[in-house]
């Protein structure tokens, strides 16, 4: 292809870093190519030299996090029991959230980012596999709600109010809360829910 490779590829990496930061702060829809260019001190055309479309930037921003997620999910799916699988998936997800705070927060919150990812089958497959791992073999209502709240962990990790908490401590807290959510016994006297 005519696409130039990225030798010491600083160009592409710099665009990705700037985009990541701006996407997290303004959302994908709220971030223009002009903003990215300004943030780097270059022109829009310089950005277009590295990426031919905004969507390509979006995909590049999430790529490394999703590569890691692929590995985690494969590990979890190879676990001996369903409970082990859930545990591995949760721990992997928390690690992912800690290691890619801004990306994971954007993925879980940004509607436009979600729509772009949904249009790529590889991402759909990953998220549905992760969903199945967290839900377990017999997803009842309680578990389904809990799994959905797990998405809130990414939100918390990117919360500016928690920016002072260091990674190891936050990781431990999120893992604790995630485990709690997934293992909470009987809520109250719940009736059958259809």
The verdict on 53 binding DNA (CB under 7 A) reads yes
Write out the DSSP string of 85-147. Answer: HHHHHHHHHHHHHHHTHHHHHHHHH-HHHHHHHHTSHHHHHHHHHHHHHHH-SS--HHHHHHH
Q: Which pair of tokens denotes residue 39?
A: 């943030």
The verdict on 39 binding DNA (CB under 7 A) reads no
- SS3 for 190? coil
Residue choice 18, 58, 134, 170 for contact with a copy of itself (CB under 8 A): 170
The verdict on 136 binding a copy of itself (CB under 8 A) reads no
Residue choice 18, 24, 50, 90 for contact with DNA (CB under 7 A): 50
CB of 113 to DNA, least distance (A): 13
The verdict on 39 binding a copy of itself (CB under 8 A) reads no
The verdict on 142 binding a copy of itself (CB under 8 A) reads yes
In contact, 23 and 111? CB cutoff 8 Å: no
The verdict on 181 binding a copy of itself (CB under 8 A) reads yes
The verdict on 111 binding DNA (CB under 7 A) reads no
Q: Which pair of tokens denotes residue 70?
A: 């692929």
The total number of residues written for the chain in this structure? 194
CB of 8 to a copy of itself, least distance (A): 31
Q: How many residues bind a copy of itself (CB under 8 A)?
A: 47
Residue choice 77, 111, 125, 167 for contact with a copy of itself (CB under 8 A): 111
**Where does residue 7 rank: exposed (0-12), middle (13-18), buried (19+ CB within 10 A)?**
exposed
2-21 binders of DNA (CB under 7 A): 4, 7, 11
Residue 186: CB atoms within 10 Å: 7
The verdict on 138 binding a copy of itself (CB under 8 A) reads no
CB of 82 to a copy of itself, least distance (A): 20
In contact, 116 and 55? CB cutoff 8 Å: yes
CB of 6 to a copy of itself, least distance (A): 25
Contact residues: DNA, CB under 7 A: 4, 7, 11, 31-35, 42-46, 48-50, 52-55
């Amino acid at each position: 292809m005519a696409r130039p490779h990225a030798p010491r590829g600083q160009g592409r990496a710099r665009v990705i870093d700037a985009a990541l930061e701006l996407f997290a702060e303004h959302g994908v829809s709220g971030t223009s190519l002009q903003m990215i260019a300004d943030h780097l001190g270059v022109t829009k055309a310089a950005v277009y030299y590295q990426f031919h479309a905004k969507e390509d930037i979006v995909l590049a921003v999430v790529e490394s996090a999703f590569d890691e997620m692929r590995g985690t999910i494969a590990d979890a799916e190879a676990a001996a029991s369903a409970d082990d699988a859930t545990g591995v998936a949760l721990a992997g997800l928390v690690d992912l959230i800690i290691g890619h705070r801004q990306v994971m927060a954007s993925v879980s919150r940004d509607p436009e980012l979600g729509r772009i990812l949904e249009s790529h089958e590889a991402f759909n497959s990953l998220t549905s596999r992760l969903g199945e791992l967290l839900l377990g073999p017999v997803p009842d209502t309680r578990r389904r709600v809990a799994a959905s709240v797990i998405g809130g962990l990414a939100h918390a990790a990117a919360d500016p109010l928690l920016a002072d908490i260091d990674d190891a401590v936050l990781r431990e807290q999120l893992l604790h809360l995630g485990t709690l959510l997934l293992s909470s016994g009987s809520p109250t006297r719940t009736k059958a829910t259809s």
